Each structure stands twice: as C-alpha cells, then as structure tokens.
C-alpha cells in the first residue's frame, strides 16, 4: 500500500466533511444572496460555517471573509492593507525572507507599485530576530507579515512578541497561519493579530476555499469588484459547498486538536528515531523545539532531492522537496537558502509531513524504504 507523507501539501477530504457538502450540490442549491426560501436555507448554513471558523480563533463571525484559499487570503491581506494604509501616507511593509510565495510575490508586486518592502533575514533554524524587526520599523511602516509556522521546515515564529510589538507602535500585523491552523491553538486577541490567513484543504476540508480574519479596528480595500458578498470585501457568488465543507472541517479539527497535536509529536519523534536506529546519515532542518509537529524537513547528505523523491515515489512513498506551490520547479528552496544552510543540505532536503491518518506502521515502513534506497544509491 502506498504511504502518503505529504499532508502539508494537502489532506484528503474527511468523510464527515464530504457528507456535509453533498446536500448543497442538489436539494440545497440556492444562491445565498437570494431572499427566497432556497437562498435563506443556504445563507443560514453559511452563517453557521462562518461562526465555527470565527469561534476557533476567538473572533467574531463578521470578522471572517471567505476566499478561494490561502493564496487569495494572503493577497487580500497584503494588497488590501497596503492600499488602505497608503491613504494615510504609509508605504512600508516588513515580511520575512521565508514567507510563502503568496506573500512574497504580493510584495514584489507592491514594490512595482512604489511600496518599500523589508525582507527580514532568519537564523539557521528559521527564526526571525525581534531586535532586527524593531530596527526595521519606521514611521512609514504600514504592515508586518510573518508566517505563524513555516510550510517547509515547520519553524514557529514568536508570534505573540511580534503582535505585542506591532500593537505598541501602532503597526498592523498579519500572519499566514495556513499550516498552524488545526494544530496550534490560535487566539487572535491574545496574540494581538490584525489579519490572519486560513485554508480549508490543510485540515481535511475541500480545496478552493479559505478565509481571512480582519480585526474590527482595521478596514481593507477589496481587490475584486462586482457584488455585495462578504461585506463587499470579496464579491462574487460564494463557493457554498466548499464553505460548508470548510466549516465542518473546522468543527472536527477543533474537537480533536489536542489529540492530533500529541499524535503528530509522537509520529514525528518515532520517525526520527527510526532513521537514527538504521544508522542513516541525515540532518533535520528547522528549529529543534519551536516547530509544527506534522512537518519534518530532512536532508540526506550526498543524495540530491530529486533523486530521492523519484526513488521514494517508485517505492510508494509520497512526500515533497518543499512547498507544493513550487514543487514543480527545479529551483532551490528559498526558505533553506534564507536560512544560510550549506549547499549540500539544501540540495538534499526532503519534506515529510504527517496527518490524521498517518500510523506508526507507516512511519516504520517509510524508514525501511529510505534505508533501502540509500543503500542502493550508495553502491
């Protein structure tokens, strides 16, 4: 049986989620903007999904804006905030060099529009330095955007400290929490977050739907026009089945988050132990402690990533060399390069990521396959 260890790229839709979505493809097909019975039924269901998403991060339903996914939510957060704050003569943005391309590329676009962007470096474990962040701030700074937990190496940033700093000086703070949501407990008030990005398909929900949280004290400019949906911040007829599936996935994730967190920690630790026991030469990339437990980025020194991935796939093991959004590219990981790791480490990195369905038996089998591949390649 094939073994799927690429849950950071996407997860399978949970059976309960699929069941919750099905009625909204046929008998409950109304447009939520319609005032008749068909529309009201769908609107009520969408309101419940919005409530579930808001409750999970200690927000209000009116602060949740549904999007087509994490990428659109990131773009709406960055572009919508930058254009709004430019009205107040603020045109400077601070992000880290290891952000998802949805944030990086949005900032590249903003630079072409005349904005100034500071790309903060990180240390060899993928952590941002708070003092460097402080030094980068100026009176023109409009927004700080720092990913909650990195999608390639799993390093968790000091989000609360960043939130406190941003609040103290009156700068808006956005975090892409796509990988952390469903694993970490997230409270937007406690962490002093102004904007937060979520995605459905990382937690057992359908693809093509996500959400952006926006605090009451902030107002973003829309990037699309043509309707009153999502309080005019994201117009267009909503992806109703997707949103309902997202809401159900959030509900399930909330109930089992603590158990899931412990299971992921145990799975990750067991995987590392299995590799050690087989005398395999490898290094773990990312922070040793402040790390998302479902992500394990490992470099098998001397074996390039592409060769390893092909051999793993031929042996029924699915994983990746980094972000699913760039895995079709032969470019080096911008995350590992920003961490200033040696070339042999960057070129041999593989990302293993675990999910609800990952078992200890699968981890043991995967380690055995890796041992066999390395033995064959070393010949």
The domain segmentation of the chain, as residue ranges, is 3-10+257-378, 15-252
Report the chain's C-alpha Rg in angstroms.
21
Q: Does the pTM exceed 0.85?
A: yes
Backbone dihedral angles phi then psi of residue 323, each to the nearest 5 degrees: -65, 135
What pLDDT, on a 0 to 100 scale, did the predictor assign at position 326? 52
CATH class for the region spanning 3-10+257-378: alpha beta
The beta strand positions in 178-243, using DSSP E, are: 195-199, 210-214
Q: Degrees (nearest 5) of the Cα angle 225, 229, 232?
A: 50
**Do the two domains 3-10+257-378 and 15-252 of this chain adopt the same fold?**
no
What pLDDT, on a 0 to 100 scale, did the predictor assign at position 331? 76
* All residues at 6 or more sequence positions from 308 whose CB lies less than 8 Å from its CB, including other chains: 300, 348, 350, 373
What pLDDT, on a 0 to 100 scale, did the predictor assign at position 329? 54
- Structure tokens, 100: 């998802």
**Euclidean distance between CA atoms 222 and 230, whole angstroms:** 10
- Structure tokens, 273: 């132990």
| pLDDT tens for each residue of the chain, 379 residues long | 899 999 999 999 999 999 999 999 999 999 999 999 999 999 999 999 999 999 999 999 999 999 999 999 999 999 999 999 999 999 999 999 999 999 999 999 999 999 999 999 999 999 999 999 999 999 999 999 999 999 999 999 999 999 999 999 999 999 999 999 999 999 999 999 999 999 999 999 999 999 999 999 899 999 999 999 999 999 999 999 999 999 999 999 999 999 999 999 999 999 999 999 999 999 999 999 999 999 999 999 999 999 999 999 999 999 998 655 554 555 789 999 999 999 999 999 999 999 999 999 999 999 999 999 999 988 7
Question: For domain 15-252, is the CATH number 3.40.640.10?
Answer: yes
Respond yes or no: is residue 325 known to be catalytic: yes
Please tell me which residue in 107, 296, 319, 325 is annotated as part of the active site. Answer: 325
Q: Which of 30, 16, 78 is nearest to 237 (CA)?
A: 30
Four-residue CA torsion sign, 360, 365, 366, 367: positive
What pLDDT, on a 0 to 100 scale, did the predictor assign at position 1? 85
What pLDDT, on a 0 to 100 scale, did the predictor assign at position 12? 96
């Amino acid at each position: 049986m094939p073994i799927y260890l690429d849950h950071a790229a996407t997860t399978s839709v949970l059976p309960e989620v699929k069941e919750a979505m099905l009625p909204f493809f046929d008998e409950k097909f109304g447009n939520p903007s319609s005032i008749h019975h068909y529309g009201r039924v769908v609107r009520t269901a969408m309101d419940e999904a919005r409530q579930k998403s808001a409750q999970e991060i200690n927000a209000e339903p009116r602060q949740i804006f549904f999007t087509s996914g994490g990428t659109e939510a990131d773009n709406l957060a960055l572009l919508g905030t930058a254009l709004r704050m430019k009205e107040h003569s603020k045109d400077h943005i601070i992000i880290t060099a290891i952000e998802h391309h949805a944030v990086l590329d949005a900032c590249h676009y903003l630079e072409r529009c005349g904005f100034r962007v500071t790309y903060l470096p990180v240390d060899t474990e993928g952590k941002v330095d708070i003092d460097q962040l402080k030094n980068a701030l100026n009176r023109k700074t409009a927004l700080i955007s720092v990913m909650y937990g990195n999608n390639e190496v799993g390093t968790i940033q000091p989000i609360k400290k960043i939130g406190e700093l941003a609040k103290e000086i009156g700068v808006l703070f956005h975090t892409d929490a796509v990988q952390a949501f469903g694993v970490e407990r997230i409270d937007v008030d406690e962490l002093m977050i102004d904007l937060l990005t979520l995605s459905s398909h990382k937690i057992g929900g359908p693809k093509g739907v996500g959400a952006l949280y926006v605090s009451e004290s902030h107002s973003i400019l829309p990037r699309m026009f043509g309707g009153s949906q999502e309080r005019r911040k994201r117009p267009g007829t909503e992806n109703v089945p997707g949103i309902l599936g997202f809401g159900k996935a959030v509900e399930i994730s909330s109930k089992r988050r603590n158990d899931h967190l412990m299971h992921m920690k145990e799975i990750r630790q067991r995987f590392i132990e299995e590799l050690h026991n087989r005398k395999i030469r490898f290094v773990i990339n990312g922070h040793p402690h402040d790390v998302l437990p479902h992500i394990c980025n490992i470099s098998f020194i001397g074996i390039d990533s592409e060769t390893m991935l092909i051999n793993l796939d031929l042996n029924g093991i699915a994983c990746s060399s980094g972000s699913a959004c760039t895995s079709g590219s032969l470019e080096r990981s911008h995350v590992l390069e920003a961490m200033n790791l040696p070339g042999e480490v960057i070129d041999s990195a593989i990302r293993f990521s675990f999910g609800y369905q990952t078992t200890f038996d699968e981890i043991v089998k995967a380690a055995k396959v890796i041992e066999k591949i390395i033995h064959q390649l070393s010949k």
